[in-house]
Amino acid sequence: MTLNRVVLPAPFGPMIPTTSPASTASEIRSRAVRPLNLTVMSSTFRSPGPAIAVTARGDRGETRPRLIAWLRQSRDQPQREGAPLVPGRPLGCPSRRILTPSHPSSPARQTSPIMCIDPGICPSLALAPGSANGHWLAFAANGAPVELAASRMAWQRVLEWLPTFNSTIGDLVIRGTVFAPCGRTADFPGFVYAISVENRGQAAISLGFRAEGTLGVRQHRIRTARHFTDAHSASISDDIIALSGTSPGSEVALAFSGDDMTASVADTSDGITRFALTREVSIDPGDKVDLALYVAAGPEADGALAMVNRMRSRGWRTLASQTRDALSVLQQSTGVSAADRLVNRHLMFAYFYAAGRAIDDARWYVFRSRAPWCAHGLTVRDYDSLMWLIPALQLADTSLARELLLRTCELHGYAPGRGVNYIDGTPFDVAFCIDAVAAYPIAVDRYVAQTGDDRIVEDAPIAEALYAANDDLSASKHGSLPLYRTDASPSGADAPLPYTLHGNALVAEALEILKQTLDEKTAETVQNADAVRAAIMRQFATDKDSSRTLLSTATDLAGAVSMRDDPVGSVYWLPLYHMLSRDDSIYRRTVRRLEQPASEPTRINLAERCATLIGPDAAKTLEWLRRADLDGGFAAEFVDEDGFAVANGGDASLSALVAYSVWYAVSVLGVPAG
């Protein structure tokens, strides 16, 4: 069965998240009727502020406060009879189109094409510029071309996201921006180009404006492109241009319109359909004129036309004001401006590029990145969503974080830690990872700790995912030792040995949460977390001499050990799981002796560099991140030592990790920045 979904990218989202109606259950697992311990009591970690209260674990005798507000039901309280039914395993791989501008926040990518609709697992589109100089927007003053791209343009990002520019060419001052309307009162699947042209000369200027292009490519793409077989279609309805395919089953349409602009469509001798929006206006000395271009998407042409009409009637000024208001609420403050810029830039990119709402079912989906130049595309590893994306978005938008946590559990929690999935939960690349299984209770724990929203565990997808995680952890346990095996590491690589340090530290944290969360009968069977931590200290220690002891990163429990660190599941993260404190001598010796995976010496995995923000050289890493260009200011999976992208730029989920780890290092750990 193929599901038809159209997921909008930035600048087409995100729209305001709402709790979507539950899906129809197609398969019900037996766990769906097992209750959780849901008695809610007050917690000392209920705080209205954004910070997550964390106490690092020191030696084994030290206790730490709980991060969650769920407490075991007292024996005199009645047991809840059952949990709500849970949607079953999703069926099929969806057909999705991704509509992504070449890069909404990078001036270097603002030339051609205007839009590149190309990532991941979805049908895709590309619009090519139609002018002779290869640009999509063209100006003429008194009949002479104005070479905007050849001029010196000053760019900046407003609120670390909205790209704006200004340029002076002769007597003309041209200012512009492109933005996706967002916010509760600006909920449109589209984007706006807004341009202001001012005449500072002594005589009136006749200005010509032209936005022109072609519908260049439409294709399906997972990792190999497959073109649609039907022809492109362009039509005009009341000065609005509609673009789609000629087939009745064409799955997405775009609509273009402008304020006081004339639309035209023409077929050329080479068989290519070109479209244009034009306007002629006279600007008196000292006056200015505003030009606005609206683009909207819909699952078919009628919807796209209706949406662009609504955007045009609202007006670009109102949409821009509402968008700025919405984005300003998302901004984070650590008290250090240099860190704030870094956090907010990456947070905005993750917010727009690692999650999207489908225009045909209005439901949210998470993915690695919708950026066309990121090889991971719209596939998703549940570990990345739960440990990178959702914690970062919790800082800015708890409602969206709640929705994404529910959706991740609903779509992927039926088989946690299985590997890489399509965005609807269908397997893409199967490899069992114990770290990702443990990530489900830990992500719920973090969410409740920060928001105080304990009632989320009453939602069926959360309950189902927690029980599934508990079952899979139990199935992975060693026969006689409280340690847990894995096939793959969080990066997707095969584990060097079956029992990993990072994985078992995560499992210990997850077990502690599950023991306080599951129903009383099931909780009695959950392994004691301190026993797991004690087994780690015994089985992973490489030297029994306490002055030289360090921990191996993996073992087979038969004498073989490894010191090779996984870039995603790095041992540097152990203090976050209360395995060791940052100041523990064993921890410090261990991280200084780690072996890096074999790779080019100039090729650095950015996830691993983020992990060092928890370690002894955190201040040095923070300074490096502040100066690193990465991929035009956003995350790339691989960078060189100077911080320039080497491969897999536009990694939105990794930008979420950058944002969260920098925020955590500065706000919680007190690492100095700047």
Question: What number is the average pLDDT over the span 293-315?
Answer: 93
Query: Is pLDDT above 90 for 287?
Result: yes
Q: Which of 9-23, 143-157, 337-351 has the highest mean pLDDT?
A: 337-351
C-alpha triplet 230, 236, 239: angle, nearest 5°? 155
Number of structural domains found in the chain: 2
pLDDT at 407: 96
Helix (H) or strand (E) holding 509: helix 501-515
Mean pLDDT of 578-585: 94
Residues 118 and 164 in one domain: yes
In a domain, 398, yes or no: yes
> Is residue 147, in this structure, part of any structural domain at all?
yes
CA distances (Å), 368 to each of 115, 375, 377, 414, 650, in order?
A: 20, 9, 6, 19, 10
Domain boundary residue, one of 571, 596, 621: 596
More confident residue, 300 or 498: 498
What's residue 387's pLDDT? 98
**Tokens, residue 620:** 């040095």
Helix (H) or strand (E) holding 627: helix 618-627
Mean of pLDDT values over 158-176: 91
pLDDT of residue 494 exceeding 80, the answer is: yes
511 with 558, same domain? yes
Query: Average pLDDT over the chain, rounded to whole?
Result: 80
Whole-number Å distance between alpha carbons of 361 and 183: 19
Tokens of 368: 């690695």
- For residue 611, the model assigns a pLDDT of 97
State residue 245's pLDDT score: 85
Q: Residue by residue, what is the 3-state secondary structure of 589-604? A: HHHHCCECCCCCCCCE
Q: pLDDT value at position 597?
A: 54
Residue 333: how many CB atoms within 10 A of its CB? Answer: 13
Claim to verify: residue 320 and residue 368 sit in the same structural domain: no
**What's the CA gap between 95 and 251, in Å, rounded?**
8
In terms of domains, do 206 and 297 share one? yes
Q: Is pLDDT larger for residue 268 or for residue 609?
A: 609
Q: What are the structure tokens assigned to 186, written together?
A: 């600006």
Q: Compute the radius of gyration of the chain from its Cα atoms.
A: 27
DSSP category for residue 626: H
User: Cα separation of 64 and 535, whole Å?
Assistant: 19
Domain-ending residue, one of 596, 613, 643: 596
pTM: 0.82
pLDDT at 157: 87
Query: Whole-angstrom Cα distance, residue 461 to residue 22?
Result: 10
How far is the C-alpha of 87 from the C-alpha of 284, rounded, in Å? 63
pLDDT band at residue 107 using 50, 70 and 90 as cut-offs: very low
Edge-to-edge strand order for the sheet containing 604-605? 604-605, 636-639, 645-649
Least confident of 47-56, 376-385, 563-572, 574-583: 47-56
The answer to whether residues 223 and 322 belong to one domain is yes
Q: CA 8, CA 423: separation in Å to the nearest integer?
A: 13
Question: Where is the domain boundary, 565, 596, 627?
Answer: 596
Q: Mean pLDDT throughout 301-307?
A: 93
SS3 392: helix
Cβ(285)–Cβ(185) under 8 Å? no
- Does residue 461 sit in the same domain as residue 320? no
The answer to whether residues 550 and 464 belong to one domain is yes
Residue 582, C-beta contacts closer than 8 angstroms, at least 6 positions apart: 56, 575, 614, 615, 616, 669
Q: What is the pLDDT of residue 101?
A: 35
Confidence of residue 358 (pLDDT cuts 50, 70, 90): confident
Q: DSSP assignment of 181-220, as one string? A: --STT---SEEEEEEEEEE-SSS-EEEEEEEEEEEEEEEE
Decide if 376 is inside a domain.
yes
Q: Is residue 40 part of a domain?
A: no
Provide the pLDDT for residue 228: 78
- pLDDT tops 70 at residue 134: no
Neighbour count for residue 82 (Cβ, 10 Å)? 10
Q: Of residues 637 and 42, which shows the higher confidence score?
A: 637
Domain membership of residue 324 (yes or no) is yes
Is residue 249 predicted with pLDDT exceeding 80?
Answer: no
102 part of a folded domain: no
Domain residues for 459?
345-350+359-596
Closest among 575, 551, 574 to 563, alpha carbons compared: 551
Per-residue pLDDT for 36 more than 60? Answer: no
**Contact at 8 Å (CB) between 97 and 111?**
no
CB-count burial class (<10 Å; 0-12, 13-18, 19+) for 192:
buried
Res. 216 pLDDT band, cuts 50 70 90: confident
Residues 6+ apart with CB under 8 A from 132: none
21-44: average pLDDT: 35
Position 254 in a domain:
yes
Q: What is the CATH number of the domain that holds 163?
A: 2.70.98.10
Helix (H) or strand (E) holding 506: helix 501-515
288 & 431 share domain: no
Residues whose CB is less than 8 angstroms from the CB of residue 152 and which lie 6 or more positions away in sequence, other chains included: 167, 168
Place of tokens 């959360």: 462
pLDDT at residue 572 greater than cutoff 70:
yes
Pairing of strands 288-298, 419-421: unpaired
Enumerate the β-bridge partners of residue 255. Answer: 242, 296
Instruction: Examine the domain organization and report whether 302 and 402 are in the same domain.
Output: no
The CATH number assigned to the domain holding 493 equals 1.50.10.10
Per the model's pLDDT, the better-predicted residue between 82 and 420 turns out to be 420
H/E element holding 295? strand 288-298
Residue 85 has pLDDT above 90, yes or no: no
The confidence band for 155, taking pLDDT boundaries of 50, 70 and 90, is confident
Contact 386, 403 (CB under 8 A): no
pLDDT reported for residue 469: 97
- What proportion of the chain, given as a percentage, has pLDDT over 90? 60
The pLDDT of residue 497 is above 60: yes
Residue found under tokens 């923000």: 613
- The pLDDT confidence band at residue 135, using thresholds 50, 70 and 90, is low
CA distance 218 to 124: 5
Q: Is residue 550 part of a domain?
A: yes
Residue 359: pLDDT over 90: no
The arithmetic mean of pLDDT across residues 124-128, rounded, is 58
The answer for residues whose C-beta is within 8 angstroms of residue 441's C-beta and 6 or more apart is 466, 469, 510, 513, 514, 517
- For the chain, give the longest Cα–Cα distance: 89
> Averaged over 524-536, what is the pLDDT?
97
The answer to whether the peptide bond before residue 391 is cis (omega within 30 degrees of 0) is: no
Do residues 398 and 317 share a domain?
no
165 vs 457: CA distance, rounded Å: 46
Q: Are 197 and 174 in contact (CB under 8 A)?
A: yes
Mean pLDDT to the nearest integer, 345-368? 90
Residues 322 and 364 reside in one and the same domain: no
Residues present in the chain in total = 674
Is the four-CA dihedral 589, 592, 593, 597 of positive or negative sign?
A: positive
Which of 108-112, 274-278, 486-490 has the highest average model confidence (pLDDT)? 486-490
Q: What pLDDT sits at residue 120? A: 31
Give residue 124's pLDDT. Answer: 56
Confidence of residue 633 (pLDDT cuts 50, 70, 90): very high
Residues 273 and 167 occupy one common structural domain: yes
